[in-house]
Structure 1
Amino acid sequence: MKTIQNILALLLASASIQIVAAQEVDLFKTVDSTKQKEYVEATFKSTHLINGHSIETTKAGLLDFRISHRFGLLNSGSYNAFGLDNATERLGLDYGITNNIGIGIGRSTFLKQMDGFLKVKLLRQSTGPNASPISITGLASVIIKTLKDSDPSLKYTTSDKTSYAYQLIIARKFSSSTSVQLMPTIVHYNIVPLANDPNDLYSLGIGARQKISKRLSITAEYYYQFNQFSGYYNSVAVGVDIETGGHVFQLHFTNSTGLTENTFITQTSGKWGNGDIHFGFNISRVFKIKKQKLSL
């Protein structure tokens, strides 16, 4: 009988251990299942980096009024006040249809261009269940040159003066201070300068933001062209962002004159090493047009 009691006690002890172990496993499973996915916010402060776009889209119901302004070349000499006598400007309006979809239009003095774009968030960096280490945004833009033809006999149509840009913006926020993005880009021209020039130009951009203080950041941007029109160079830009409440003010230096994708990526005529550098500034002011609905 004592032997049977010992066996029963051993079995009960073993069963108790198994139950406790099972409860511990179930408890951990319960904790894991209740963990929520959290999205990374503010990879970049603004929807634009310097010349080009950032990973961010305009929030739903917000209208972003943007002024992009750059002066002439610094190496143009004192006669031109080191570029201050000349300027290129773009006025733009960006609007958030949803938190993930934005649209925008703009008018640039360079080549008297009109442009419009659609921007969609495809993937967001997150932590938790099914986490994503990166964010991806798609951009499609159309640019129309409205400058009158130097030779009226050529009779170019609006379609001839139209070009398109398609871009994937792939970004990661490494810390609260450091963010980096890659921008593989295709620019398509309906009409090219020379017969042997390609209609499709391919490039890869890289951009970065390093936060220095609560309201001050350093930004940089570079586009490497895999094929290009003769006589043009890769675009380089360095800026300082100052956040002041409802708007972001940026001072920057770049070798690009144009302010649209086709001009600063594929038509940068200035060479940074020769001092062909423009000083400029960008201003962003956001207005609330439509109240955002609270999600339950």
Structure 2
Amino acid sequence: MKLLNQPTIMLMALLTLCLYPFQSLVAQDDILDDMLDGNNEVTNVFNYGMLINNQTTETTKKGTFQLRIQHRFGEMNLKYFGDTVVEEFLGFDGSANIRFGFTFAASDRFQIGLGRTKIDKVYDFEAKYRFLNQKETGSPFSMALYFNTAVSSQEFPEVAPNEFFADGETPFEYKFAHRLTYHWQWIV
């Protein structure tokens, strides 16, 4: 079923590009005014604890409970632009990976979270602690420590009887440690 033909799509794109420069851009003034609180600390440097798929120095307010849904889009076949974009709903129908997670802020500087990812059926635990807050005078940056550990719940593949560890003598077998992964980083 063809919903929009190519000339209609091109006309809509042209109108959008022509009208975009006239859009009012004063909405950010309120955000910038709110960035300084009463004690000289700069808040909302990133406005959220994540930037795309990367952690930032921001932590959520004490007592906040968040549901985070992270989504990687599937492939889009742009050969037939009008048909496939509408039918595949911009890649939502063929999701490459999805993560559902819950985050709780125990304090204004410390938060913990649990999540599950579609690929490898991974369950994860994360924690972030902000050590240093950016200030208008004094500290020119914020700094946080982020930690994540995960365990895969997917079945291990079969191991052939002739597979060995690097020493060439010990037969290879999967251990629980092969399911675990961890990651930590300083965020500035």
Give the TM-score, by structure 1 length: 0.41
Match 1:94 to one of 85, 90, 103: 103
Separation in 1 of the partners of 2:61 and 2:92? 35
Match 2:140 to one of 129, 133, 138: 133
Q: Report the counterpart of residue 127 of structure 2 in structure 1.
A: 118
Separation in 2 of the partners of 1:77 and 1:71? 17
Structure 1 stretches of at least 4 aligned residues deviating more than 2 Å after TM superposition = 73-86, 152-158
Is 1:50 aligned to residue 58 of structure 2? no
Relative to structure 1, the CA distance from residue 114 to residue 152 in structure 2 (aligned partners, 3 Å threshold; closer, same or farther) is farther
The structure with the greater share of residues assigned to strand is 1
Q: Report the counterpart of residue 40 of structure 1 in structure 2.
A: 42
Question: 1:72-110 CA distances to partner (integer Å, 9 max, x unpaired)?
Answer: 133597789474442121110011010001101100001
Is this contact kept in 2: 1:58–1:102, CA < 8 A? yes
Separation in 2 of the partners of 1:76 and 1:83? 11
Q: Report the counterpart of residue 166 of structure 1 in structure 2.
A: 184
Relative to structure 1, the CA distance from residue 109 to residue 68 in structure 2 (aligned partners, 3 Å threshold; closer, same or farther) is same
Secondary structure in structure 1 of the residue aligned to 2:120: helix
Secondary structure in structure 1 of the residue aligned to 2:74: strand
Question: 1:41-61 CA distances to partner (integer Å, 9 max, x unpaired)?
Answer: 101111111112111112111
Shift of 1:127: 2.5
Long gaps (5+) in structure 1: 1-35, 171-296
Shift of 1:70: 2.1
- Once the two structures are superposed, the pairs formed by residues 198-277 of structure 1 within 5 Å of their partners are none
Question: 1:190-221 CA distances to partner (integer Å, 9 max, x unpaired)?
Answer: xxxxxxxxxxxxxxxxxxxxxxxxxxxxxxxx
Which protein has the larger Cα radius of gyration, Structure 1 or Structure 2?
1
Give the TM-score, by structure 2 length: 0.63
Q: Report the counterpart of residue 282 of structure 1 in structure 2.
A: none
Relative to structure 1, the CA distance from residue 116 to residue 126 in structure 2 (aligned partners, 3 Å threshold; closer, same or farther) is same
Shift of 1:158: 2.7
What is the identity, as a one-letter code, of the residue corresponding to 2:180? T
Separation in 1 of the partners of 2:186 and 2:178? 25
Match 2:115 to one of 106, 109, 115: 106
Shift of 1:67: 1.0
Name the % identity. 28
Separation in 2 of the partners of 1:156 and 1:57? 37
Relative to structure 1, the CA distance from residue 103 to residue 77 in structure 2 (aligned partners, 3 Å threshold; closer, same or farther) is farther
Separation in 1 of the partners of 2:103 and 2:159? 34
What is the identity, as a one-letter code, of the residue corresponding to 2:73? F
